[in-house]
Amino acid sequence: MGIRVKRAFKYRFYPTDAQAADLSRTFGCVRKVYNMALAARTEAWTLRQERVDYNATSAMLTAWKKTEELAFLNEVSSVPLQQCLRHLQRAFTNFFAKRAKYPRFKSKRKSRASAEYTTSGFTFRDGKLTLAKMTDPLDVRWSRPLPEGASSPSTVTVSRDAAGRWFVSLLCDDTPASMPATAEAVGIDAGLSHLVTLSTGEKIANPRHERRDRTRLARAQRALAKKTRGSANRARARLRVAKIHAKIADRRRDGLHKLTTRLVRDNQTLVIEDLTVRHMVKNHTLARAISDASWTELRSMLEYKAAWYGRRLVVVDRFFPSSRLCSACGTLASKMSLNVRTWTCDCGATHDRDVNAAKNLLAAGLAVSVCGAGVRPQRESSRTGQSATKQKTPRRKP
């Protein structure tokens, strides 16, 4: 039987003009309350060295609603306002635990427009979702049914992306369908010429989604740059740019979902390398290509899908010389530049750089699976609450 996990099911919906106005007002109030609470907590600490918790900010919200200046906060549901205070409390908890930076103020143009409703803020009955202070249910396009056995939603998050599309996300307790156990294992080497190379020798082509639309995107961005700030023409041009970006992101996410699901379904053990993408994108020559490949999202999907379906994901330390290590005899080659795609070892074996790296990653991962040596906890997944296994391999001198 599979493990019980929390899964979010995201659907697109089309609000009426009245619903869109109410939700837009709610987004603005959520942003306003979050920023005011953040300012109050920052001021209390800066001036009086006083820590303000969630209960204190909740009391502040009650007082704000009674003022004439902020009376408009009463026009929206109180549930999303309370939830944003809880989100702020979580942000400060992560900051004091040194897991995140200091919370930042929400920007009207750059921040995600969203509102979270708990069970007291919505009704979900007979496949119809109605939010608090709304009389009509949302026109949700149920592209897939909620899985059998999934509980009623515990939270509902409504959001609007930069392209003007509306989405609703339902968080449910669910038991993912189990996959049959298999003895297969695979090493996965991420790259740019090929998105991933497997230890079996298979290479998955890099779709380069951004490059396909680069001309159309550049044309739309040039048109946007020529528009006067604050004008209606600029707003329409910005929307055209956002829609192109949204289509690129949708195609990329769809491709990654299909690839990761296939890898998790076919293999019991998956081995990947711990890539520091945030450092790699500082290389301005490769930053655009690395961002388009979306290695971080690829790894995230492998992590939570492996946890859902009872697979084992092993993460090998970033300093492991997978490309320069001969998978046939174990000899470590000298420093190798990125333009070297094939090389021959002193033992006579000729290696494809990426396939050789994938084979070495698999060997390191299987060593962890057999003896458990050199394992250390990996980052915790926000979706599963569990952590992947990380192989700490000592550096080897060239």
> Among this protein's residues, is 317 annotated catalytic?
no
Helix (H, G, I), strand (E, B) or coil at 348: coil
Catalytic residue among 116, 273, 292, 303: 273
Do 276 and 193 meet the contact criterion of CB atoms below 8 Å apart? no
The span from the CA of 164 to the CA of 160, in Å, is 6
Torsion of CA 296, 302, 304, 310, to 10 degrees: -160
Q: In terms of Cα–Cα distance, which of 136, 182, 147, 141 is closest to 165?
A: 141
Do 332 and 349 meet the contact criterion of CB atoms below 8 Å apart? no
Catalytic residue among 189, 210, 292, 303: 189
Q: In terms of Cα–Cα distance, which of 86, 87, 89, 78 is closest to 41?
A: 89
The span from the CA of 248 to the CA of 158, in Å, is 22
> Among this protein's residues, is 273 annotated catalytic?
yes
Q: In terms of Cα–Cα distance, which of 78, 39, 36, 41 is closest to 56?
A: 41
The span from the CA of 261 to the CA of 94, in Å, is 31
Query: To 10 degrees, what angle do helices 17-48 and 78-96 make?
Result: 40
Could you give the residue numbers annotated as active site?
189, 273, 354
